[in-house]
Structures are given as structure tokens and as C-alpha cells.
């Protein structure tokens, strides 16, 4: 566990890259891309670590290279391919990644972008994701399945807003676990979680407010036809109980 804490800051993106580096893309475009990547991730039943690594690679690349919006999906799908090769026992073939973009990009383009990403990031693909800290907290605190599901859902939606990049992976995990236990088991274990995750209670509370803004945002969008991955009923459930139990 000590290794997780000592390494978590090593390969993080610039949390301000959307305003300091990028000129042609926005947080909204990133959110749409990451929601689509999450759908693909679920469709192919990838490991949970795969989506976090893919988004990390995407954000780190975008922290270094100013791009045009017409290749954003190409970068995303190439990052997912790299992550799947790293995390999955049987990753999909190259042709799959072209297919899932409706052939917007061919195999050569995906392969070329994979190489570009790896070169820019110096082939550093080992990260400490929120899931690693989640597993540690779950082992230490042994909370229930519903709280676990709630926390995993929150960690998933954390990839949809660039504002969440200002928090460390351990802080994302700690906040998700705190919210999950408080909402689903009606227990306030803030101090214990903060101690185990080695972060400040104030940071967890601040991060939880960001999560609540995300939940509210998703509820407003729940009736849209293109909403995508997030279940409408579950979003309403989360919103109804999270606000009632947390604050």
C-alpha cells in the first residue's frame, strides 16, 4: 500500500490543460468522449483498471499536445487500445478499434496514434488509479456490496469532468467510499476513511461537492435521448439519496 501512495503523483495529467494547452476542444467534448469510452469498456467487459488507464493516457497526452477536435476520438480509442493491451488478458484485435468508431479511422491511423501517444508519454503506462485505493479501503473497512457499487459508480463518473483532475486518485477513491458508505449504510466514517487514505477530511468533503454537482448535472440530462451510459432511474436514485444523507 505504501507503494501506491508514493507512486500516485508520478504520472498524472496537468489538471489545467484544457485552458492552458488545448485551444480547439472543451470539457464537454472530453465528457462525451469519455462517456463513449466507458460504454465501449462495458460492452467488451474490460477490467475496471482499463478505463482509468485509458483516460489517464488520454489526459496526459492532451496535457502535452495541442490537438484539433477532429482527432479527439482517435486519440481516445488509441488510448483505450493501449490500456487494454496492458490490463486485459485477451485484448481485442486492432480492427475492433477501427470498427467501434464506425470506421471513422482506419487501422493504420489507430496504430499510428498509438505510437504517437506512447512516444509522447515515454512509454510510461504504469499508474496508480483510484481503483487500487478502492481495493485497499474495501479490504480495510469491509463495507457492503451496495456501498461498493455506489462508490464504483462515483469513480466511473469522475472521468467525465475535467475538474476532477485536481484530486489525487486516493482522494477520488476515499470520497467515493465515504459517500457510498454514508448513503447506503448510513454511517459517517469520514475520519477513518481519511486516515486510511492518508488525505484530509476537508479534501474529501470538497471532492464530494464536486461529485454532487456531477450527479445533479446527470439528472438534468437524464431525459435526453443521447444520454448514453448512465441509467436514468439510477441517476435519480443517487441524486435523491445522496443529497439527503450527505448534507
Distance CA 187, CA 14 (A): 35
Please compute Rg for the chain using Cα positions: 18
Number of H helices and number of E strands within the chain?
13, 0
C-alpha to C-alpha distance for 60 and 120, rounded to whole angstroms: 9
Question: In this predicted structure, what is the pLDDT of residue 178?
Answer: 94
Q: Over its length of 247 residues, how does the chain's per-residue pLDDT go in tens digits?
A: 677 777 888 899 999 999 999 999 999 999 999 999 999 999 999 999 999 999 999 999 999 999 999 999 999 999 999 999 999 999 999 999 999 999 899 999 999 999 999 999 999 999 999 999 999 999 998 888 989 999 999 999 999 999 999 999 999 999 999 999 988 888 889 999 999 999 999 999 999 999 988 888 776 665 554 545 544 555 555 555 555 555 4
Separation CA 169–CA 105 (nearest Å): 32
User: What confidence score (pLDDT) does residue 223 get?
Assistant: 54
CA distance 131 to 172: 9
Neighbour-count burial for 103-142, b at 16+ CB within 10 Å, e otherwise: eebeeebbbebbeebbeebeeebebbbbbbbbebbbeeee
The per-residue pLDDT for 246 is 52
Amino acid at each position: 500500500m505504501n507503494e501506491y501512495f508514493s507512486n500516485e503523483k508520478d504520472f498524472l495529467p496537468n489538471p489545467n490543460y484544457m485552458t492552458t494547452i488545448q485551444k480547439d476542444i472543451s470539457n464537454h467534448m472530453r465528457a462525451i468522449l469519455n462517456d463513449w469510452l466507458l460504454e465501449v469498456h462495458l460492452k467488451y467487459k474490460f477490467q475496471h483498471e482499463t478505463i482509468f488507464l485509458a483516460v489517464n493516457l488520454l489526459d496526459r497526452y492532451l496535457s502535452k499536445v495541442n490537438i484539433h477536435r477532429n482527432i479527439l476520438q482517435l486519440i481516445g480509442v488509441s488510448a483505450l487500445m493501449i490500456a487494454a493491451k496492458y490490463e486485459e488478458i485477451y485484448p481485442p484485435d486492432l480492427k475492433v478499434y477501427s470498427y467501434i468508431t464506425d470506421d471513422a479511422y482506419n487501422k493504420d491511423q489507430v496504430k499510428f496514434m498509438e505510437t504517437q501517444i506512447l512516444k509522447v508519454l515515454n512509454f510510461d503506462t504504469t499508474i496508480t488509479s483510484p481503483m487500487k485505493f478502492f481495493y485497499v479501503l474495501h479490504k480495510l473497512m469491509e463495507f457492503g456490496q451496495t456501498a461498493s457499487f455506489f462508490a464504483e459508480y462515483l469513480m466511473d463518473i469522475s472521468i467525465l469532468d475535467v475538474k476532477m483532475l485536481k484530486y489525487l486518485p486516493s482522494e477520488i477513491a476515499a470520497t467515493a467510499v465515504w459517500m457510498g458508505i454514508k448513503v447506503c449504510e448510513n454511517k459517517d466514517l469520514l475520519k477513518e476513511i481519511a486516515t486510511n487514505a492518508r488525505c484530509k477530511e476537508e479534501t474529501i468533503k470538497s471532492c464530494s461537492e464536486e461529485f454532487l454537482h456531477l450527479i445533479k448535472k446527470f439528472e438534468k440530462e437524464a431525459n435526453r435521448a443521447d444520454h448514453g451510459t448512465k441509467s436514468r432511474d439510477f441517476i435519480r436514485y443517487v441524486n435523491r439519496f445522496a443529497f439527503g444523507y450527505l448534507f
